[in-house]
Amino acid sequence: MKPEDVTTAITNALIQGGSSWLISTIVAFLPALWTMTLILHLGRPYVIRTLRRCGLRLGADVWWMSYILMRDALMVVTFALSWVFFQPNIVTSAALPITGGLAALCLLIALAVKLTRRVDDDINAYRLATAFLVLGATLFYGPQVFAVEATSQGYLAGFAKFFTSNSNETLALILMWIALAGVALIAAWMFIRAWVSANRTMTRRLAPKETPAVKETTAAVQ
Amino acid sequence: MSPQDLTTAIVNGINAGGEQFLEGTLAAALPIIWLAILGLHLGRPYILDMIDRFTLRLGADLLWLIYVALRDLLIVSGVIMSFMFFFPDVVNTDPLPLTGGLAAVALFGVLLVKLMGDPDHNLRAFRITTVLLAVGAALYFVPYVLGTQGSFAFSPNLVTNTNQQWAVIIAYISIGLLAIMGAVAAIYALRTGGRPEAPGSTAAQ
């Protein structure tokens, strides 16, 4: 092997290895993000209990704002990083949980529930968001723990083969496309909702400016 | 060896090395997290004593909120960083403390007690969280110091990759316990609708 060959090999390895390392790092961090998302969402009663004991409005506001920001930003980040489950090439080449895409879809539905209903005021909306989050986490953790991270366990070989994306490519791709269609539908619905809502509120705000000003009969300042 | 073979070898090296480096870093950071958690939990009387000395309510509120946020976020971080103890492949490959998974379960138990009880105002709940933290710390530090970092005759028995059978059994027990506690937390959240008390019941102020 000539020095040029070694150079080429190292260059290719850095590109391919860097890419696959990035993907595997994202996948490795997803359980942590899912757990954090669940803990922050389910920990709401504890946060409110602490908030009620604040003597000053400022402290309570800072506490609540930090909680909301962390909880919702984590959900968005977890969904954004779950995007690896919607790349056909990655799904078929990397060892990912086969239901990862459906888990991401559940996360997006929980986000959509938060967007459309007041989850922090409406008990049923909170319950609905919780149900989707728990379902999504189950769809993620099950294959991740017992399939992707259990290749060394002989008695789990059948389960691991079925629930790992690169060893059950056909089903993995079917589930991926179903989840992607769901994501596209929900994203389209969120887009239309934001569009209509913006139109309505902005029209209402602009309306008074378009009507002719009424002539005042008396001076404002006497 | 062809250039392609060399490429594949380097790629595999980067992936395996990167993964083990990440897990090794997490394992190395966990004792620090555990010590910080214990320090903050056991330092509660000191914080309360300091709060009494504040002349402004704002300062007292901020100190208490920062303390609570730091303490509880560290516990959450501890649980999250301990997630590798639940992966059979990881415990088979890396030299981790054997009962680290059970320590993570104890830490999650603390979070569950904080969710369902009120350890800052209820003595029983505070005692339960203290006992859980003590048990969790013992389950983490004993195999870590005597096994992972020690070189005694019995040390291999306390390390996951040299006692793989027990490591996997303990991982499964930990996963089971964590799943049960997670289900309890989810049912609690569904029942109360995210409120500190169930709808219709009197407020536990």
Quick one: CA dihedral A134, A139, A142, A148, positive or negative? negative
Q: How many domains is chain B built from?
A: 1
Alpha carbon of B202: minimum distance to chain A alpha carbons (Å): 14
Give dist(CA B121, CA B205) in Å, integer: 10
A41 vs A63: CA distance, rounded Å: 15
pLDDT tops 90 at residue B138: yes
- State residue B202's pLDDT score: 46
Q: Using CA atoms, how far apart are residues B25 and B19, in angstroms rounded to an integer?
A: 10
Going by the DSSP 8-state scheme, the letter that residue B148 receives in this structure is I
Residues in chain B: 205
- CA of residue B171 relative to chain centroid, distance: 14
Say yes or no to pLDDT of B1 above 60: yes
pLDDT for B25 beyond 90: no
Our measurement of the distance from residue B161's CA atom to the centroid of its chain's CA atoms, rounded to an integer in Å, reads: 21
Tell me the average pLDDT across B61-83.
92
Q: Say which residue, A217 or B160, is predicted with more confidence.
A: B160
Subunit contact A45:B65, Cβ cutoff 8 A: no
Q: What is the pLDDT of residue A1?
A: 76
Q: What is the pLDDT of residues A127-141, one digit of tens each?
A: 999 999 999 999 999
Residue B69 lies in a domain: yes
In the A/B pair of chains, how many CB contacts fall below 8 A?
155
Testing the interface with B: which of A8, A24, A46, A120 to mutate, by most B Cβ within 10 A?
Answer: A46
In a domain, B203, yes or no: no
Among A105, A88, A103, residue whose Cα is nearest residue A183: A105
Read off the tokens for B152: 């005694």
Does the residue B204 lie in any domain?
no
What are the C-alpha distances in Å from A200 to residues A92, A149, A203?
44, 50, 5
A54, A135, A149, A151: best to mutate for the B interface, most B CBs within 10 A: A149
B165 occurs within a structural domain: yes
CB contact under 8 A, A59 and B65: yes
What pLDDT score was predicted for residue A222?
45
Indicate whether B46 belongs to any domain. yes
Nearest to A78 by CA among B80, B156, B35: B80
Q: How far is A165 from chain B (nearest CA, A)?
A: 17
With cut-offs at 50, 70 and 90, classify the pLDDT of residue A211.
low
Q: Which domain holds residue B136?
A: 3-192
> Comparing C-alpha atoms, which of A85, A99, A79 is closest to residue A186?
A79
Q: Is residue B205 part of a domain?
A: no
CA distances from B30 to A183, B192, B200 (A): 37, 33, 42
Residue B65 is assigned to a structural domain of this protein: yes
Q: Is the pTM of this model over 0.80?
A: yes
pLDDT digits (tens, 9 = 90+) for A41-99: 999 999 998 888 877 788 888 889 999 999 999 999 999 999 999 999 989 988 899 99
A193-197, A199-203, B151-155, range with greatest mean pLDDT: B151-155
Taking only residues 187 to 216 of chain A, the set having a beta carbon closer than 8 angstroms to any beta carbon of chain B reads none
**Pairwise CA distance, residues A197 & A88, whole Å:** 34
Mean pLDDT across the stretch A157-178?
A: 92
Are A124 and B193 in contact, with CB atoms under 8 Å apart?
Answer: yes
Span A37-42, average pLDDT: 93
Whole-angstrom distance, CA of residue A155 vs CA of residue A146: 11
Q: How confident is the model at residue A168 (pLDDT cuts 50, 70, 90)?
A: very high
Instruction: Read off the pLDDT of each residue in A5-29 and give the average, rounded to a whole number.
Output: 81
CA distance B55 to A169: 66
Q: What is the ipTM of this complex?
A: 0.79
Contacts of B196 in chain A (CB under 8 A): 45-46, 48-49, 52
Mean pLDDT on A146-164: 89
**Residue B199: inside a domain:** no
Q: Band of the pLDDT at A214, cuts 50, 70, 90?
A: low
Q: Label residue B204 by pLDDT band (50, 70, 90).
A: very low
CB contact A46 to B (< 8 Å): yes
Give the one of A58, A126, A150 whose C-beta lies nearest to B194's C-beta: A126
Residue among B92, B190, B197, B201 with most chain A CBs within 10 A, to mutate: B190
Q: Which two tokens stand for residue A126?
A: 């909170």
Q: What is the pLDDT of residue A11?
A: 84
Rounded to whole angstroms, the Cα distance separating B83 from B101 reads 8
